[in-house]
Chain A
Amino acid sequence: MLLIKCPYCGQRPETEFKCGGEAHIARPEDPSALNDEAWADFLYTRSSIKGVLAERWMHSHGCQRWFNALRNTHSDAFLITYEMGKPRPAVDENGELK
């Protein structure tokens, strides 16, 4: 069971959280302006990488707040969690925080 640090509540076990998939995919301001391909890309295309991925998490059995996290999908290590709206922290070529 993973340990996840909610930015508002601190470290809690994984069972208190819900993962919401890849982060930093903003809903388009005007969806009607997108062609079908671009809209399908927004809806369905995710990077699904082996390595450090920015993910959305929600402390569903806690404060119910969404936040973002950098997680290494290979090792399951959480590099950092951060509030919604903040930019994605930079990571070096070794998968460590810069």
Chain B
Amino acid sequence: MSAPFRLPSGGRIDRSKPLTFTFNGQSIPAFRGDTLASALLASGKVLFGRSFKYHRPRGLLSHGSDEPNALFSVDRGPGRVDPNNRASVVDVTNGLTIETQNHWPSLDFDIGAVNDVLSPVFVSGFYYKTFMWPKSFWTKVYEPIIRAAAGLGKPPVAPDPDRYGNRHAHVDVLIAGAGPAGLAAALAAAKSGKRVVLADEQQEMGGALLHETTAEIEGKPASVWLSETLAELAGYPNVTLLPRTTVFGYYNHNHLVAIERVTDHLDRPGETIRERLWQFRAAEVVIAAGSLERPLAFADNDRPGIMLAESVRVFINRYGVLPGRQIVFATTSASAYQAAIDARKAGVDVTLVDLRTQAGPEKALAVSAGVKVMSGYTVIRSEGTKRVKALIVAPVDASGKVSGPRVRLVCDCVGMSGGWTPSVHLFSQSRGKLSFEAERDLFVPGTSVQAERSAGACRGTFDLAGALNEGFAAGAAACGSAETRNFSASPVMTGFKAVRVLPTDENPTKVKAFIDFQNDVTAKDVGLAVREGFHSIEHVKRYTTTGMASDQGKTSNMNALGIVADILQKPIPAVGTTTFRPPFTPVSFGALINLNRHGLFDPARHTPIHDWAAAQGAVFEDVGQWRRARYFPKPGEDMHAAVLRECKQTRESAGIFDASTLGKIEVVGPDAAEFMNRIYINAWTKLEPGRCRYGLMLKEDGYVFDDGVVARIAEDRFHVTTTTGGAPRVLAHMEDYLQTEWPDLKVHLTSTTEQWAVIAVQGPKARDIIAPLVDDIDLSPEAFPHMAMRSGHICGVPTRMFRVSFTGELGYEINVPADYGRAVWEAVYAAGKPHGIVPYGTETMHVLRADKGFIIVGQDTDGTQTPDDVGYGGMIAKAKPDFVGKRSLARPDCVAPGRKQLVGLLTENPQELLDEGAQIVADPNQPVPMKMLGHVTSSYPSAALGRSIAMAMVADGRNLTGKTLYITTPKGFTTAVVTGTVFFDPKGERLNG
């Protein structure tokens, strides 16, 4: 296909580098430097998509990142399909495949366009008003159909093969935007020697200078000044230039985030990272974000071929593309005259219609350039469906009313301008307060909150010399200098008259004058919302959806705001603006997720024995960040079978269990015992070195916080263990009290979780198994009783050996330095083989402890249990004057009768397994809502008992022992009898084997 609308010369494209890409299956020629938009326009394409709600044919509105209509699915190869890309910002590369969106069966013939005919019913709030009944239809019928019919692109299905980078940078001056103001700011800041970053969202730096073919700066054509300035800036070692980098978020304390597109403009993706997420911490920020052109609201202002006036100029001057051969400009702004003059220079027939009766000096310039100028004319409507064919205009009188016969202007392109809106997005994100200039109809930066300053068009300074001067002063001020500079630059055409909806002689409730193109919101929709009582602009936005979606209302917000203000007869500041939120433009999830995926999403912690367990075929589970072996299935076994076998074998001979994940804290110092007394409910003063005690810890509110066995190693040294998940918060809790409440205590706390591997050997054969491996510890029951700790060696490796049991069996927990964990584990396992040792995982550990009624903090407790609630009230050292949580245990609600207490539950059918979390009631026939007594906290099939067992928190539970309660199941209520919590070996005889 040829490019009939490409001008023979001009533009910044590289005509020596032809490219081709595919658009809906058709090959399109382009040059390096083209965007999808410019290349498609050059080929004569103007129909780029169907609109969100009415499926109206849409073309291009803009040349920049504010484009609402031309959203494409871009295919860069397998896994690199990306929906909703703006045609105006995607650089053409060789072999790109582009598809348009939101139409069926085709872009040219779209069934959904019937919505346009039915539009009288699709008023604002249509969904809320229509799909109310029957209620159940919403999720099953209405929503799926609406979601299928509406929406834009389709999400990609293949995993993203690209990598994304992340960089943190501390800079002295960050300049957002490299138009005239940003470049001048960079020139000023560069000289200071400070670290300067200049970031700009476009493929080339220069902003409006990239399409400036008339103006001169410092006596040189703007393009020459631009290339000289960029070369000068590139020569400064302290200046970093970041093109293709959008500063999209401005957060607290001058933390700004930007996205750099690294490879999307290259023919071959994937050779390096696709995008880089920059996180800047800037001492000072200069915002030079430019401004956004406002569209005009008139009937059918959305037809393909109707675009912003400046965009017409950009396509001609920067890309060498004619958007049409008969162009009409419709404007209330002086800037459109320059566009008209440039279009005329490109050799086409140009008419300009200005609503203003009084134009400035721009009029004479345009007329002398050959532009037909019609002052004091409004636009009634456009003609044409898939491409604009004509513009119907009519004269207006001084009061703004249509005052004469209509004129039909034949055209194939319309450039419209309703003036300019400063891009105050970053300023507002920084929490700066906007101020409103009523005379110029502009929100501009007012009071700053952070160390930033705005310069140029984003501050309402639209003329070239003014923007340069302001930018330079801002760059200097950001470096602490008061230096200024007076740039000489050509005057440019500025000034506009703000008009919300163009005057018309048609019934305004019948015409579709689009305000928000992306969401299909018309002026009458906004008006209807206000009449229905939505007076807050935030409510109007949500009710009509104006200003939402990927363009975030860049082109629509001011017009919508103005309409609301006019109807309410309030000044615009009294209506207010909606909140500007990051990101400024859409950012890929890949860049935000960045490296935090796959194995880096949440780093896994592995014990020294992990690889052994994996080689044995263990099934793992996540416990906090730890990967723990859950069970060790033999071929053909499911979890249930494996756990029953592991339980049985452990109680019959012995089991070996990796307890390395237990949290461990070394508490050391002359005041260690006193510190332990204050932190735990238990008494520690009299615990002899070489003995262990089960410790229970409360928060100040009196509720169980953590538990674990503690060994006293020496008078001034305790080896504390915590739950696997609780280790960091227990250390933090201890440090908090030590540092902030008792800084006088001489105690050091050290996390030793990862220094020790812990091998638990449990079962009647445990002593026989380890005896041959231990050199210097007397393992006899007299010398090394239950709840003792001995230091010595196993397999020649130093050990702290605990004789403790979380299973009810004779057992040891062998602590060895982590580096020896695997070797000692394998030695113990080999020694245990003749005795029938079995490796077991966390699931078996849970069952074995439940047989004995041992609690798991966080499973049987939920942060609202006192020690007495879980049956551990007897552990409290009542003689201690104080410990953390003690006073709270005397609160009225902690001593009130009827609190929930931990009890055992045995189902009547011994094979029935209760659901953990199931609710418990006394009488299933009581009226709803029923009185809940509590819930099941633990439930397992017990190998030792040959039946199911459960624990539960039940109101006044211990007084209900022997009673039958009713427990919910998916099939209705079942029954269970309340028991004690110790199901197996209630006298604890097996421990002492």
Contacts and interface: CB of A to CB of B under 8 A. Distances in A.
A1 B701 contact: no
Given A64-B735, A66-B735, A34 B887 contact: yes
Given A1-B253, A2-B253, A39 B882 contact: no
Interface in B445-477: 449
B253 A76 contact: yes
A58 B736 contact: yes
A25 to B, nearest CB: 10
A66 B253 contact: no
Interface in B350-388: none
A34 B886 CA distance: 12
B252 A43 contact: no
B966 interface: no
A65 B735 CA distance: 8
A85 B743 contact: yes
Interface string A10-31: 0001000010100000110011
A43 B743 contact: no
B251 interface: yes
Interface residues of A, number: 26
A15 to B, nearest CB: 11
A44 B688 CA distance: 38
Nearest to B882: A31
Contacts of A79: none
Contact of A27 (B431, B449, B741, B743): B741
B739 A76 contact: no
Contact of B887 (A13, A32, A66, A75): A32
B888 interface: yes
Contacts of A76: 252-253
A62 B924 CA distance: 55
A3 B735 CA distance: 23
A84 interface: yes
A85 B281 CA distance: 31
Contacts of A43: 700-701, 888
Nearest to A27: B741
Contacts of A96: none
B449 A3 contact: no
B833 interface: no
Interface string B870-896: 000000000001100011101110000
B881 A32 contact: yes
B255 interface: yes
Contacts of B736: 20, 58, 66
Given A1-B252, A1-B255, A60 B732 contact: yes
A45 to B, nearest CB: 13
B281 A3 contact: yes
Contacts of A20: 736
B251 A1 contact: yes
B130 interface: no
A32 B882 contact: yes
Contacts of A75: 431, 449
Contacts of B741: 26-27
26 contacts: A1-B251, A3-B252, A3-B281, A13-B255, A20-B736, A26-B741, A27-B700, A30-B882, A31-B887, A32-B881, A32-B882, A32-B887, A34-B887, A36-B892, A39-B887, A40-B891, A43-B700, A43-B701, A43-B888, A56-B740, A58-B732, A60-B732, A66-B739, A66-B740, A84-B740, A85-B743
Closest 3 CB pairs of A and B: A31-B887, A3-B253, A66-B739
Interface of A: 1-3, 13, 18, 20, 26-27, 30-32, 34, 36, 39-40, 43, 56, 58, 60, 64-66, 75-76, 84-85
Given A1-B255, A32-B887, A64-B735, 7 more contacts: A1-B253, A13-B281, A31-B887, A34-B887, A36-B892, A43-B700, A58-B736
